[in-house]
Amino acid sequence: MKGAPPLATAFFSLLSLASLTTFPLTAAPGDLDDLDAEVTGSYLLTTIVQPDGKILIGGDFAQVQGESRQYIARLNADGSLDTFFDPKANNLVYCLAVQADGKILLGGDFTSLQPNGTPVAVPRSKIARLNPDGSLDMTFDPKTNGSVYSLAVQGDGKILIGGVFSTLQPNGVPAPISRNSIARLLPDGSLDTAFDPNANHNVFGLAVQSDGKILLGGLFTSLQPNGAPSGTARQYMARLLPDGSLDNSFDPKANNWVGCMTVQKDGKIVMGGSFTSLQPNGAPSATPRNRIARLHPDGSLDETFNPNANNTVWGLALQADEKILLGGGFTSLQPNGSPASTARSFVARLQSDGSLDSSFDPKTNHWVYSLAMQADGRILLGGIFSTLQPNGSVTPDARHLFARLQNDPALQMLEIPSGSQVSWLRGGAGPELSRASFDLSTDGGTTWTPLGEAARVGSTADWELTNLSLPTSGTLRARGIPTGGVFNGSQSLIEQTASFVIIVDPVITLPIQKGDAAPG
């Protein structure tokens, strides 16, 4: 056909980013790592990890590696003390959380901080926020009138706090505002006035599900949310809808306090505390469960899971391979109807079905309050202990209040399977994440643009984000939130980055020859 336009055919191909990070096994899981923080004090309550590998610790202590550090300190990734970071709280730090912007939230019993050698202390009542260098964020002052035990930063930047307070007076507002034991802050520290679950006693632990629902555990026996005319009975554990109203379908009904909760990748909820039975969702009778249990997503009991600890469980940590770490005051477990109990001194690891991991036995000599996991799978312990005797070693090793354990290999991989999708593949002994997100940089990592919150891939440990329009090159960053600390009231932030190139093959123009028919 004379004069017909040329036929243009474009061939598109994608160079898939595949950044594989494998953290190899260097010792047996549970063996002691060389890191010794040399903490001098009474106990450690929380340990979290920053994206750069630095480790924050909080509790009741006065020295770290021979240097004065009051209640909070930071270690470099190599285990040495970060000498430039010294917030200097004047009382206990219970919980810590790293925000996406690198700022650090802390909650506890303190009433002032005197960071990095400033000449005078600055009042901060039970909750504060630090800049990444440890200086005080002067714009953030929620001011509770009682202890803050737990923090949870939501994907939208709002901050949940739990504790034993009854009022907040944020950022200089003229009068205190009533909030009983649980509240939600906007990112600037002001109060989310629409959110008021109104618990009648202490809230110890918080956990946010992927659907935005909020789990809370503590000493409460009722909640009266958002101006409801009367309270609703909830014994020691409850679930809220994202707006703070009560999830009426969920009622585990423990017989004693619930301290820590964490959500598995399949949506099941592992809970620890001081309870010895549960009677979920109107069941006709209570079922024995000693200090640790697992619920289905609807709050009913997972009958197959019964680790049976002989004393309190204070903290939990999940691995990507579905194994479960627990720390507390226990000295034995008798899982799933086994005929005899097995000794485990204050820290243990379970298989996904609740049976004991017989290969893992760090054996501390006193309580473990806090568990946290690094990106490479290594395990951080905090508590009252002064020695560990791992995996049958003949003599104990000194570690005062803080220790790091070796673990099985961890695996993480960033992948771009198409120009509109990014994936973060995770497995092995790496930490399980409560949520994840992706960011993009086109200037080599100097500035980052959020791509969005990631969605979990089914019931796996993997995460993805779809419906994107990626540039032909850049740097991809995936970030995730593992929880830990006493009451699982603290949040770490880990990340993986990798550069990518998307190749689009050049357009090939094929002239239409005389006599050819045009397509279509």
Task: Name residue 235's amino acid.
Answer: Q
Tell me what pLDDT residue 21 has: 59
pLDDT for position 211: 95
Smallest CA-to-CA distance from 354 within 284, 276, 264 is with 264
- Residue 488 CA to residue 141 CA, distance in Å, equals 23
Q: Which residues contact 443 (CB under 8 A, 6 or more apart)?
A: none
For residues 436-456, average pLDDT: 97
pLDDT digits (tens, 9 = 90+) for 333-390: 999 999 999 999 999 999 999 999 999 999 999 999 999 999 999 999 999 999 999 9
349 CB neighbour count, 10 Å cutoff: 25
What angle (nearest 5°) sits at the alpha carbon of residue 343, between those of residues 342 and 349?
Answer: 80
What does the pLDDT average to over 1-28? 48
Tell me which residue of 282, 272, 262 sits closest to 236, measured CA to CA. 272
- What does the pLDDT look like over 283-301, one tens digit per residue? 999 999 999 999 999 999 9
Question: How far is it, in rounded angstroms, from Cα 492 to Cα 21?
Answer: 19
Place 11 in a pLDDT band, splitting at 50, 70 and 90: very low
Instruction: Work out the number of other CB atoms within 10 angstroms of the CB of residue 507.
Output: 10
CA 150 to chain centre: 11
Question: How far apart (Å, rounded) are the C-alpha atoms in residues 326 and 308?
Answer: 12
Lowest mean pLDDT among 23-27, 238-242, 353-357, 428-432: 23-27
On the CB side of 47, CA atoms within 13 Å amount to: 28
Give alpha helix (H) positions in 369-415.
none
**What percentage of the chain carries pLDDT values higher than 90?**
89
The sign of the CA dihedral 364, 353, 427, 492 is negative
Q: Give residues with Cβ within 8 angstroms of 362, minimum separation 6.
A: 30, 32, 347, 381, 388, 390, 391, 403, 405
374 backbone dihedrals φ, ψ, rounded to 5°: -80, 165
Closest CA to 481 of 373, 339, 369: 373
Instruction: Note whether 256 and 272 are within 8 A (CB).
Output: no
* Torsion, Cα of 246, 252, 257, 263 (10° steps): -80
Length of the chain measured in residues: 520
Model confidence at 26, pLDDT cuts 50, 70, 90, reads low
Q: Which region among 12-21, 422-431, 496-505 has the lowest average model confidence (pLDDT)?
A: 12-21
CA distances from 330 to 237, 334, 345, 433, 502 (A): 21, 11, 6, 26, 53
Q: Please state the pTM of the whole predicted model.
A: 0.92
What backbone torsions phi and psi does residue 473 show, to the nearest 5 degrees? Answer: -155, 160
pLDDT in tens, 172-184: 999 999 999 999 9
Q: Which residues contact 30 (CB under 8 A, 6 or more apart)?
A: 349, 359, 360, 361, 362, 390, 391, 405, 406, 407
3-state secondary structure 117-175: HCCCCEECCCEEEECCCCCECCCCCCCECCCEEEEEECCCCCEEEEECCCEECHHHCCC
Residue 90, φ and ψ in degrees, nearest 5: -105, 10
pLDDT over 50 (residue 92) = yes
By C-alpha distance, which of 429, 438, 503, 510 is closest to 475?
Answer: 438
* Beta strand segments in 219-360, E: 222-223, 232-233, 237-240, 258-263, 269-273, 277-278, 287-288, 292-295, 313-318, 324-328, 332-333, 342-343, 347-350
pLDDT of amino acid 12: 33
Q: How far is CA 425 from the centre of its chain?
A: 18
Amino acid at 442: T
Residue 95 phi/psi, 5° resolution? -145, 150
Q: Give mean pLDDT, residues 406-411.
A: 94
Tell me which residue has tokens 């540039």. 471
